[in-house]
Structure 1
Amino acid sequence: MKKCILLLVGSLFILLGLFFAVVPGPSLIFFIVGLMCFSFYYPKARHYLALCQKALTKSCAFLDKKLAR
């Protein structure tokens, strides 16, 4: 039951991420939360979650550097 609910919530967040990729919104946040839900049961999702976290860290560091000038 717990796995089913977690996968349903993960799917919802992935769909919201896809929706907000088309219209302006926080799509990356929804993708990360959806991947986090999937990563409890799927190791490949854990890999993609790590890639998204690294990309978000790099982009935040880049923006901090540009805005500090």
Structure 2
Amino acid sequence: MKKMINHVFAVMFLALGLLFMVVPGPSLIFFIAGLLLLAFYYPWARRYLSHFQKALKSSCQFIDKKLARR
């Protein structure tokens, strides 16, 4: 039962992330939340979540460097 509820919320968050890619909204937050919930049960979700975290970290560092130059 707990696993099913987890999957329902994960799919809901991923669907909201896809929706917010089309309309303005916080799509990255919902993608990360959906992957986080799936990462409890699936190793492939852990890999995607790790990839997502590394990409966000590097993009934030890039933006920080650009803003520091001003």
Fold shared, TM-score > 0.5 on shorter chain: yes
1:54 and 2:54 equivalent? yes
- Give distance in 2, aligned partners of 1:51 and 1:24: 23
Using structure 2 for the length normalisation, give the TM-score. Answer: 0.94
Return the offset for 1:25.
Answer: 1.4
Return the offset for 1:30.
Answer: 0.7
Structure 1 moving runs of 4+ over 2 Å: none
Q: Deviations over 1:7-60 (max 9, x none)?
A: 001001000000011111111111011000001011101100000000010111
The aligned residue for residue 20 of structure 2 is 20
- Give ranges in structure 2 of 5+ residues lacking alignment: none
Q: How many positions carry a matched residue from both structures?
A: 69
Using structure 1 for the length normalisation, give the TM-score. Answer: 0.95
